[in-house]
Amino acid sequence: MNSSVTELPVPTVSSITSPRAGILAALWLPTQLNGELDREALMRHLEFLRHHGIHGILALGSTGEFPHFDLEERKRVLECVAELAYPLPVIANISDIRPRAVAELGRFARQLRLPAIAIMPPGFFPSRQDDLLAHFLHAADAAQLPSFLYNFPELTGTRIDLPTVEAFSERAPMAGIKQSGGEFAYHRDLIALGAQRNFVVFSGADTRLPEVFGLGAVGCIGGLVNIAPDLMVHLFNVCRRGLPGDTALPFARLKEIGTVIDRLTFPLNVAAGMEARGFAPGAPKALVSPTSASLYRGIVDTLRARFREWGMV
């Protein structure tokens, strides 16, 4: 796999648009022992996700462990995901502490004719809100694509405050924002602002979907989509689209999956859930202690038994 885009079987921007609603996978990226993307494992997983009716992909997000990849590796990953995920829309997370890397990834996303980018605060160093805005505008200007802000302060160390979101929406083609982390109430302010400024709000609160949709969020971009897309698409169809169906049982199962995988830290816990569902998540990208390895095996064993019991194998 190389970084050339001339032969990619991907459509033009006009034929795949930025997603405005639905269940999107914050895509797990299986890698080999040498750190290279496992294309075959990724292809099988994307086929599974498409089969269960998801609406799009966030590539190289936090679930995709993007800090483990260098710039050229991230380009190759984006190229591969764009090819294998077709015809699903792929949002490219171009987040980085380095403005030049953000710009280069944004331009590459445009070369790939992806419909949108996502951008997080740069991380590590604290950021003033006006500097955050400058960072986001720099990303949007380089990519020249609809942009999703990506708020996950537990990982980046910096919250994207509401005035910053509003200022960005006034000066750039803002498609939406992904709200992740522990501040669930922030959904309300973001959704209210989105209604005024014509952008949408996706939630990362995988296990709180009925509440998320009740507040007016248009969908979920989450790591649990890799494990249980069938449950999450069902909840979207019933809670958001108003289709007939039961929500109590799928919601209870989704919450149980979340409780089990939360025995281990994110995002390794997503890999455990995927293995329990029958997929090869690949080699760990970070070192795993014996304690974490034991917790991982316990999650796999517990969820594998649940999936058999529920007929999800």
Per-residue pLDDT at 181 exceeds 60: yes
| Contact (Cβ atoms closer than 8 angstroms) between residue 282 and residue 313 | no
- The reply to whether 3 falls in a domain is no
- The reply to whether 253 falls in a domain is no
pLDDT for 313 equals 86
User: What SS3 string covers 220-237?
Assistant: EEEHHHHCCHHHHHHHHH
State the residue for tokens 């200007």.
141
DSSP-derived 3-state class of residue 183: coil
pLDDT for 67 equals 97
| Contact (Cβ atoms closer than 8 angstroms) between residue 153 and residue 127 | no
- The reply to whether 108 falls in a domain is yes
Residue 15's pLDDT band, with cuts at 50, 70 and 90, is: low
Mean predicted confidence (pLDDT) in 264-270: 98
- The reply to whether 303 falls in a domain is no
Residue 224's pLDDT band, with cuts at 50, 70 and 90, is: very high
Task: For 120-164, write each residue's pLDDT tens digit.
Answer: 999 999 999 999 999 999 999 999 999 999 999 999 999 999 999
- The reply to whether 142 falls in a domain is yes
DSSP-derived 3-state class of residue 242: coil
DSSP-derived 3-state class of residue 300: helix
Domain of residue 28, CATH code? 3.20.20.70
Alpha helices in 157-285 (DSSP H): 162-171, 186-197, 209-215, 229-239, 248-261, 268-277
pLDDT for 16 equals 85
Q: Which domain holds residue 234?
A: 22-243
State the residue for tokens 């760990």.
284
The closest alpha carbon to 78, from 93, 62, 100, 56, belongs to: 93
- The reply to whether 146 falls in a domain is yes
Task: For 54-110, write each residue's pLDDT tens digit.
Answer: 999 999 999 999 999 999 999 999 999 999 999 999 999 999 999 999 999 999 999
The total of other beta-carbon atoms located within 10 Å of residue 305's CB is 11
pLDDT for 44 equals 98
What's the domain count of the chain?
1
- The reply to whether 274 falls in a domain is no
- The reply to whether 270 falls in a domain is no
